[in-house]
Structure 1
Amino acid sequence: MRALPLLALALTLPALNACSSDSSTAAPRPGPIGSTPTPTPTPSPTATGTAFDVTRCLNQQVAPGVSVANLVIPDTVKLDVTKPNGFPNGRGLNDPVVDLTLAVIFLDLTKHPANLLASLPLDPPGNEVKTLPDFPYLAPANGNPPLPPAGGTNFNFRTDPPSAYVRVDRMGMPAVATALVSSSMKNAYNDANPTDDASGKFVVELGTTLTHLTEQLADDFQRLSLNMCATPI
C-alpha cells in the first residue's frame, strides 16, 4: 500500500515549499561605492487563527452523497456494487488510500483534488511487491514471516467463521486508526466494533485529534498556498 506517513507529511511540506522557489532569480547588483543600500522591506506576517473548527472537513463531499464523516464513521470499507469501484467506493489493493484519506481530512476539496498528496513525486510509484493475478491477490509478505508448525492449517477465508480470527488492528478506513486515534485510545479503538463507531463513541476523539493535527500543520499548508477545509476561529 502506498502511503505518505503523517510525520513525513509534516516534514516534507516545508521542503516542497523550498523546492518550489525560483532559483533563477539573479542576485541584485551592488550599488555605487559609498552609497547606502536600500533595505529590503520585511513582509508583514499574515495573521492566522490559533484554533480551528474542523466541522467543515468532516462535512465536505468526497463523492456525490458521501461525506468525510461517512467514510470514517463507522470505520469500515464501504462498497456500492452499482457504482464504479475504487476509493472511496471500496478500494483496490494498489489505491494510495492513506494519501487520499489525509487529503480529504485536511484539504478543501472544492479547491484541490483528493489525489493531490498521492501525486507528490515524493511518493513511491507503487507497491514494492507486485500483487498476485489470482486469489487471494495480495502480494507476498515482505521478509520471512513465521510459518505454522508441521500439520498446522492456514485460515480459509471462504469457510472459516469470524470466531476463527483474532483482531489485532482496525484498518477499515486506512489512516483513521493511525492518524486520528491517539496512542492512549488505540487499544480501546481496536477492541471496539463498527457499532461502537456508529453510536458516536469515538466522535470526540476523532474530532479532537483532527483539530490538533490541523493546528500543527496549518502554517505548512498556508506556506504552500494549499487551502485547508478547516476554518480558523
Structure 2
Amino acid sequence: MTNRFLSAASMAAIALTLSACGDDEVEVPPTMMPMPTPTPSPTPSPTGFDVSACLNQVIPGTGGVTVAGAVVPDTLTINLGAASGFPNGRRLEDPVIDVTLGVIFLDLAVHGAGTLAGVPVNPAANDVPFQAGFPYLAPAQGSPPITVSGGSSFVFNTAPVGDFVRVDRMGMPAVSTALIGSDQKDPYNDASPADDANGDFVPELTEQLTGLTNALADDLTDLGLTPCATPNT
C-alpha cells in the first residue's frame, strides 16, 4: 500500500517537473469574471386619485341629489316626489351598506347604485321574512323564541332630551363608520348636522374617501367595475 502511494506521488512530481522544464510558460486557469449586478427597477410611485367626481355625481332616482348632498349633512332624508328606497328614505329590505359603498366608489354613469348588492356573497334577503304590519321586523329568534304580541302596548321613553348622551351618529349608514377617521369620531359624534352643513367635516370626509379609493381602486378595476375617482396626473 505504501509503495503504491509513493509511486503515485513520484509520478506526479516528475510530471510537474517535466512540464516546468519543457515550457517556460505555465498555463494559468482563466479567472472567473464576476457577473454584473442588475440595477433594480425603481419602485413605481403609487397612483393617487381625485374623488371630486365621486362626490359631485348625481345618485339616480333621488331627484338630482349628489353624493355630497346625501352625506352632508349626515341625515336620512326623503323626497316624496321620488321613488322610495335608500338613499331616498330607508326600507327594511334595502341593502343600505352596499348602496352607500356603491355610490361613493363607482361611476354611476356606468353602474347602478345597487351594483355591489348583486355580489354573490351578499344575502339576497333577510333570513326570516318581515311582517306585513307593525312592528314590521321579523319575529325575534332564540331558544326559546321571544314572543311578540303587537306594538300597541309599547311605552316610549318620555325622559327629557338632556338625559340622553349621543354615542354614535348614524344618519346615513356607513358615513360615520367608514368616512370619519378614528381621531375624529368623538368630535363628529358630539357635533350636529348643522355643523356638517357648515362644512366642518367636509375635509375629513374627502380625506378618508381618498384614502379608501387609493387602496381599493385597483381591486374594483380587477372586478370589472369602473371607479368614479380619476387618477391624479
What TM-score results when the alignment is normalised by the length of structure 2?
A: 0.68
User: CA shift at 1:82, angstroms?
Assistant: 2.9
Q: Work out the CA distance in 1 between the residues paired with 2:123 and 2:66.
A: 28
Match of 1:167 in 2: 166
Q: Work out the CA distance in 1 between the residues paired with 2:154 and 2:137.
A: 15
User: CA shift at 1:210, angstroms?
Assistant: 0.3
User: SS state of the match for residue 59, structure 2?
Assistant: strand
Query: Superposition pairs for residues 149-228 of structure 1, below 5 Å?
Result: 156=156, 162-163=161-162, 165-228=164-227
Instruction: Give 5+ residue unaligned stretches, structure 1.
Output: 1-46, 145-152
Runs of 4+ in 1 over 4 A off after TM superposition: 139-144, 159-165
Q: Work out the CA distance in 1 between the residues paired with 2:213 and 2:155.
A: 41
> What amino acid sits opposite 2:200 in the alignment?
K
> What amino acid sits opposite 2:201 in the alignment?
F
User: Is 1:58 the equivalent of 2:46?
Assistant: no
Question: Highest CA radius of gyration, 1 or 2?
Answer: 2
Instruction: Give 5+ residue unaligned stretches, structure 2.
Output: 1-43, 144-152
The size of the alignment, in residue pairs, is 178
Q: Work out the CA distance in 1 between the residues paired with 2:200 and 2:219.
A: 31
What TM-score results when the alignment is normalised by the length of structure 1?
A: 0.68
On the 8 A contact 1:52/1:214 being kept in 2, the answer is: yes
Query: Superposition pairs for residues 1-233 of structure 1, below 5 Å?
Result: 50-63=47-60, 64-139=63-138, 156=156, 162-163=161-162, 165-233=164-232
Deviations 1:58-117 (A, max 9, x none): 000103311000110001010122332111211101100100000000000111111110
Match of 1:5 in 2: none
Report the RMSD for the aligned CA atoms in angstroms. Answer: 2.6
User: SS state of the match for residue 62, structure 1?
Assistant: coil
User: SS state of the match for residue 216, structure 2?
Assistant: helix
On the 8 A contact 1:49/1:232 being kept in 2, the answer is: no
Deviates more, 1:109-118 or 1:79-88: 79-88
User: SS state of the match for residue 200, structure 2?
Assistant: coil
> What amino acid sits opposite 2:130 in the alignment?
T
Which of 1 and 2 has higher RCO (CA within 8 Å, sep 6+)?
1
User: CA shift at 1:183, angstroms?
Assistant: 1.3
User: CA shift at 1:154, angstroms?
Assistant: 7.2
Change (3 A) 1:67 1:114: same
Q: Work out the CA distance in 2 between the residues paired with 1:86 and 1:204.
A: 29
Deviations 1:95-147 (A, max 9, x none): 00100000000000111111110011110122335434333334466779xxx
Deviations 1:28-59 (A, max 9, x none): xxxxxxxxxxxxxxxxxxx9961111000000
> What amino acid sits opposite 1:116 in the alignment?
T
On the 8 A contact 1:80/1:89 being kept in 2, the answer is: yes
> What amino acid sits opposite 1:58 in the alignment?
L
On the 8 A contact 1:109/1:229 being kept in 2, the answer is: yes
Deviations 1:137-164 (A, max 9, x none): 34466779xxxxxxxx97617x766446
